Structure 1
Amino acid sequence: MITTADRLNSVEEYYFSKKLREVRGLMAEGRPIINMGIGSPDLDPSEAVLKAISEAVAHAGAHQYQSYQGLPELRQEVANFYKSNFNVTVNPANEILPLMGSKEGILHISMAFLNPGDEALIPNPGYPTYTSVTNLVGAVPKYYDLLAGNNWFPDLDFLELQDLSKVKIMWVCYPHMPTGAVATKEQFKSLIAFAKRNDILLVNDNPYSFVLNNDPKSILDVDGAKDVTLELNSLSKTFNMAGWRVGMVLGSEDHINAVLKVKSNMDSGMFYGIQKGAIEALKSGQDWFDKLNEVYSKRRELVYQLADKLNCVYDRNSVGMFVWAKLPDGVKSAENFIDNILYDKNIFITPGTIFGSNGEGYIRFSLCVTEDKIKEAISRF
């Protein structure tokens, strides 16, 4: 056996990669599993998007290598989207970089800015990829607490008392995954001021702004944000294009160029047809968001009923495509709780612990499940 790289000792296989293999095994045995764990949209992109990619396949040059920076029309449409939806002005020539999903952006940003031994501030609870990528590049995760009592926002005064001399990046995610908490513009201002005082690159991961959220925000809407901030975004959740792998990172020309240095050595450009579909998606009007949220709103009300069956507590003010629910007092292990439901009721729910130690005592339901399936899940209790 050839010895693997030492960096693999710092990470494990992604939770959903392992757990869904287990779930598929149960389904292969004939179990009627209802998967409420993963946030993979089950709805289709718009007809206009599907038509755009279909027609693009026949375009001249569609099957050649594409620009590392994406089509100029795609960058322009991202700029238009940010201006119309967030009131943020970005230069499509040098302040936008399309990505093959925002997840790859987490790796590219980390490779561009983190040296071995540097530290990255990571939310607890938060997206597990922030930790795994930090470890893979040889940097050190430094967790900061997010608690329900503070509406899942960091205590910046407490953080400032810590030794931040080695911190290069701070990962934030608002609307927050997994809790669905939102940040105000004033809170964004405080994050940016914190990053400036401590010479930290702030990265806001922002793929959930338009799901069940009446007030989408971008951290780039704050004056001076580009000095210390990058924002990741994605078409996966907003436009039901998760499998297409289309995302983007926005920020200052210097920061974007640093990420481009990494990206241009990692891939050979996004497929032309996918870019044309993405352009069409970004042109979508309010009707698209209204129809999407009408579906998710009905599903969420049913998930609330399911959470009630389990004696869980949840916040009706949260946004996004998940319901974050606190388990009843006395339940000691979220993972045991969801495993009991998986094997007894054939329903898979995500345990909060995969997002960090502050996720203990919580579970997360995905809204990427049809109404009929959620009703069936309720009936099993």
Structure 2
Amino acid sequence: MQTPIDMTTVKGEIDAMGLPSVGLASIRELNRIVNNIETATGEQFIRMEMGIPGLAPPEIAVNAEIEALKRGVGSKYPPFDGIPELKQEISNFVKNFMDKEINPISCFPTVGSMQGCYMAMMCATRRMKGKNKLLFIDPGFPVNKNQAMVLGAPFENFDVYEFRGEKLRAKLESYLSAGDIGAIMYSNPNNPAWICFTEQELQIIGELATAYDCLVLEDLAYFGMDFRQDYSVPGQAPFIPTVGKYTENYILLISSSKSFSLAGQRIGMTAIPDKLFNSEGDNLKQWFGTNNFGYAYIFGAMYALSSGVSHSNQFGLAGLLKAVNAGEYNFVEAVKEYGERAKAMKQYFTDNGFHIVYDKDEDREIADGFYFTIAYEGFTGEELVEELLYYGISAISLITTGSDRHEGLRACVSLTGKDRFPDLEKRLQQFAADHPKGSDFKIINS
């Protein structure tokens, strides 16, 4: 039997990593295996394991950063909570695209949204005595749980698949009623499933956050990328859905990596509503020297973690946001290609016997975007990850994301340009031919 990638090489590289199960490998571990196989064989994989932006950064941001460097800002420390120009543009951005007014004082850049998530967890789990636990609405980004573990913050989690709509209320209350949840965290659109919460679901989350005095950490890594709606016009409806419409107990965590294709610059945005920013906790002082939430956040958590985001980079993002806020740059249009790729790639998979795992937002077809989820009859997700390596296709198991759908994989479209579609189609056709319905054949068992 011959597969698109030499079987002996694939097996050798898998064994060389010494993992208990390649199907349960982390994103970085799987990435290393695929890199090694590509080097050994000279064959290119269809790379779907990592959520790396596949588009060039906007020239507006590049030029604004170059000009800042020419002015000499590289020799000066930035304000660690952000340059005034950027703080104002973040505030304008949140107003223009989410219809939420947040004071520039409580809008600031972070070293990627990852640092923003870490700081939010740190402060949310130390705000109130007895509320030190996180609740993750899964599936989710695996590294967020790693962050919680590094912080020493205990957490609960559940897969939202069976709890959409009104059913979400009772499920959340089953955790919140214990009284120890300091924050709820989710991504919207969701990594890995690309589900998007409905207004009803956001209202439920917001109402319960207020009722139980916990915070909502809203991870907006894929800001505006639900392409079923046009969110591209500043100051005009429809606005990007947010739990902030239903509670003041929230923190917005906005990434520049995907929506703005600035992943390499490591700059994200955090925005905290005025009421929360100016509020008092009863447990912050022992950690941050003050019980004032905003002061603890900036002069406690942020100052301890970083002396600020790259100075020139802040000017780059400020320049880009200024153009976006003025309607001079359509950031949504610039990344719509991801949706086009997803639509085509999903079709190739379903034409060859795969099915979409997370396929609905209640009664609505899921959007085409940065990720989608797949499964193949007769395989667990753990098995499918490994089997697909022999066909030159890499993706991660949903098990690693907190999903209860153990048969599925997460596929990212960002590194698969349309020029690779013929390769993808051919490899999937061979996979389907080698694994006909009703057959129990698996290379990994042979």
Normalised to the residue count of structure 1, the TM-score between the two structures is: 0.87
Q: CA deviation at 1:87?
A: 1.2
Aligned positions of 1:155-234 closer than 5 A:
155-162=168-175, 163-213=177-227, 214=229, 215=231, 217-219=240-242, 221-222=244-245, 225-226=247-248, 228-234=249-255
Please, what is the CA RMSD of the aligned residues? 2.4
Secondary structure in 1 matching 2:305:
coil
2:95 aligned partner:
83
Judged with a 3 Å threshold, the aligned counterparts in structure 2 of structure 1 residues 59 and 75 are, in CA distance, closer, same or farther, namely same
Q: CA deviation at 1:112?
A: 2.1
1:362 aligned partner:
408
1:57 aligned partner:
69
One of 285, 310, 331 as aligned partner of 1:289: 331
Asked if the contact 2:165–2:201 (Cα under 8 Å) also holds between the matched residues in 1, the reply is no
TM-superposition CA deviations, 1:190-233 (whole Å, max 9, x none): 2111112212111111121322432552425415x22x111111
Asked if the contact 1:117–1:139 (Cα under 8 Å) also holds between the matched residues in 2, the reply is no
One of 406, 415, 418 as aligned partner of 1:371: 418
Aligned positions of 1:2-81 closer than 5 A:
15-29=26-40, 30-81=42-93
Asked if the contact 1:97–1:248 (Cα under 8 Å) also holds between the matched residues in 2, the reply is yes
Mapped partners of 2:65, 2:340: distance in 1: 30
1:114 aligned partner:
125
Q: What amino acid is the match of 1:113?
A: A
Q: CA deviation at 1:321?
A: 0.8
Asked if the contact 1:172–1:204 (Cα under 8 Å) also holds between the matched residues in 2, the reply is yes
1:101 aligned partner:
112
Asked if the contact 1:209–1:320 (Cα under 8 Å) also holds between the matched residues in 2, the reply is no
One of 348, 353, 376 as aligned partner of 1:328: 376
Asked if the contact 1:236–1:243 (Cα under 8 Å) also holds between the matched residues in 2, the reply is yes
Q: What amino acid is the match of 2:199?
A: K
TM-superposition CA deviations, 1:75-114 (whole Å, max 9, x none): 1111111111111111002x21211111112211222232
Larger radius of gyration: 2
Asked if the contact 2:224–2:332 (Cα under 8 Å) also holds between the matched residues in 1, the reply is no
Asked if the contact 1:120–1:170 (Cα under 8 Å) also holds between the matched residues in 2, the reply is yes
Q: CA deviation at 1:71?
A: 0.6
2:158 aligned partner:
144
Judged with a 3 Å threshold, the aligned counterparts in structure 2 of structure 1 residues 359 and 245 are, in CA distance, closer, same or farther, namely farther
Mapped partners of 2:116, 2:377: distance in 1: 38
Judged with a 3 Å threshold, the aligned counterparts in structure 2 of structure 1 residues 322 and 155 are, in CA distance, closer, same or farther, namely same
Mapped partners of 2:316, 2:260: distance in 1: 10
Judged with a 3 Å threshold, the aligned counterparts in structure 2 of structure 1 residues 74 and 154 are, in CA distance, closer, same or farther, namely farther
Secondary structure in 2 matching 1:62:
helix
Gaps of 5+ in 2: 1-23, 232-238, 279-292, 360-364, 430-446
TM-superposition CA deviations, 1:164-211 (whole Å, max 9, x none): 222111112222221111123332222111112212111111121322
Q: What amino acid is the match of 1:196?
A: T
Q: CA deviation at 1:293?
A: 4.1
1:238 aligned partner:
259
Mapped partners of 1:281, 1:287: distance in 2: 8
Identical columns (%): 22
One of 355, 366, 374 as aligned partner of 1:317: 366
2:284 aligned partner:
none
Judged with a 3 Å threshold, the aligned counterparts in structure 2 of structure 1 residues 159 and 185 are, in CA distance, closer, same or farther, namely closer
Asked if the contact 2:31–2:50 (Cα under 8 Å) also holds between the matched residues in 1, the reply is no
Mapped partners of 1:210, 1:154: distance in 2: 26
Gaps of 5+ in 1: 1-12
Secondary structure in 2 matching 1:176:
coil
Q: CA deviation at 1:301?
A: 2.3
My pick for the range that moved more, 360-369 or 211-220, is 211-220
Mapped partners of 1:49, 1:245: distance in 2: 13
Secondary structure in 1 matching 2:75:
coil
Mapped partners of 1:266, 1:323: distance in 2: 34
Asked if the contact 2:168–2:204 (Cα under 8 Å) also holds between the matched residues in 1, the reply is no
